[in-house]
Amino acid sequence: MATKTIELAGVGPVTLVKRAQSRNLRLSVTPSGVRVSMPRWTSFSSGQAFAISNIDWILQELAKQSQPLIESGQRAGKLHYVRFEQILSGQPVTSRVTATEVIVRLKPGEISTDQNAQKRAQSACIRALKREAERLLPPRLQNLATKHSKQYHSVGVKQLKRRWGSCDSHHAIVLNLFLMELPWEHIDYVLMHELAHTLEMNHGPAFWRVLLAMEPRARHLSKQLRSHQPAIGAWQA
């Protein structure tokens, strides 16, 4: 596999890669860099011209690259690990979630850092997190409610955009599936936070009295939680 790195004005380094499996020019932009995959018989100058002709698209994609790469062996939630696997030509490019793994298939010539592969990995990881959250969070919420003599109407799991959880005036609690990426002490804090809202809907002094009675470290945990963001999903709705 022959490679060459060029400098593209306004973009930086671009890696040109000749691959036996490639049948045409293909451009990918990931947090690890810009890459042009090309057939072995294509000249590097043609790969460079292809990158230059797509410079506007490259710049747009680079601007989006704030999401950390999902890597093989990475943990997804409490129960799952990510695994990328290469497939043969003609096999379906799919992903699946087992009891312990998030398996993402890579088509011939594709690598795990390619944008489309990362999108499939992210989607599969979110499915895994949702399964975990639906399995683990409702009984944990019920245990905390029983322990602290609180009542709620219902509990659901969703992919929320900017909140770890919510509780409405009917005491229906919704929990963010990305909670599964947090340490258990922070998960329990969020659960107790929502249980406190079954008595106090705002965040005034009365709310904090209720929450601190359940968790004396609530203010400290709340401060710690502000520094957390989902590693998978990056608060996407």
Q: What is the mean pLDDT of the chain?
A: 91
pLDDT of residue 234: 53
The mean pLDDT value for 47-53 works out to 92
Range with the poorest average pLDDT among 72-76, 113-117, 130-134, 200-204: 113-117
For residues 76 and 122, the answer to whether their CB atoms sit within 8 Å is no
Q: For residues 230 and 103, which has the higher predicted lDDT (pLDDT)?
A: 103
8 A C-beta contact, residue 17 and residue 34: no
Evaluate the CA torsion angle 143, 145, 151, 157 in order and state its sign: negative
Domain ranges of the chain: 3-64, 75-126, 132-225
**pLDDT (tens digit per residue) in 6-15:** 988 888 899 9
Model confidence over 90-112: pLDDT tens digits?
899 999 999 999 999 999 989 99
Superfamily of the domain at 132-225: Metalloproteases ("zincins"), catalytic domain (3.30.2010.10)
Determine contact, residues 123/105, Cβ cutoff 8 Å.
no
pLDDT band (50, 70, 90) for residue 23:
confident
Contact predicate 175/155, CB 8 Å: yes
Q: How far apart are CA 154 and CA 139, in angstroms?
A: 12
Across 30-34, 71-75, 223-227, 231-235, the highest mean pLDDT is recorded for 71-75
Average confidence (pLDDT) over 7-31? 87
26-30, 57-61, 128-132, 230-234: segment of lowest average pLDDT: 230-234
d(CA 38, CA 100): 36
- Residue 125: which residues within 8 A CB-CB, separation 6 or more? 70, 76, 77, 80, 82, 102, 232, 233
Residue 89 to residues 21, 106, 107, 108, 109: CA-CA distances in angstroms?
10, 10, 7, 6, 10
Written as one letter, the residue type at 141 is L
Mean pLDDT score, 134-162: 96
**65 has pLDDT over 70:** no
Considering only residues 24 and 196, tell me which one the structure prediction assigns the higher pLDDT: 196
Does 237 score more than 70 pLDDT?
no
* Confidence band for 138, pLDDT divided at 50, 70 and 90: very high
- Max avg pLDDT among 18-22, 65-69, 87-91, 145-149: 145-149
Counting residues of the chain whose pLDDT is more than 90, the rounded percentage is 69
Instruction: Give the model confidence (pLDDT) of 164-205 as tens digits.
Output: 999 999 999 999 999 999 999 999 999 999 999 999 999 999
The rounded distance, in Å, linking the Cα atoms of 97 and 93 is 14
pLDDT attached to residue 64: 65
DSSP the chain: --EEEEEETTTEEEEEEEETT--S-EEEEETTEEEEEEETTS-HHHHHHHHHHTHHHHHHHHHHTTSPPP-TT-EETTTEEEEEEE--TTS---EEE-SSEEEEEE-TT--TTSHHHHHHHHHHHHHHHHHHHHHHHHHHHHHHHHHTT---SEEEEE--SS-SEEE-TT-EEEEEGGGGGS-HHHHHHHHHHHHHTTT-SS-SHHHHHHHHHH-TTHHHHHHHHTT---SSSTT--
**Residues whose CB falls within 8 Å of the CB of residue 65, separated by 6 or more in sequence, listed in order:** 29, 30, 31
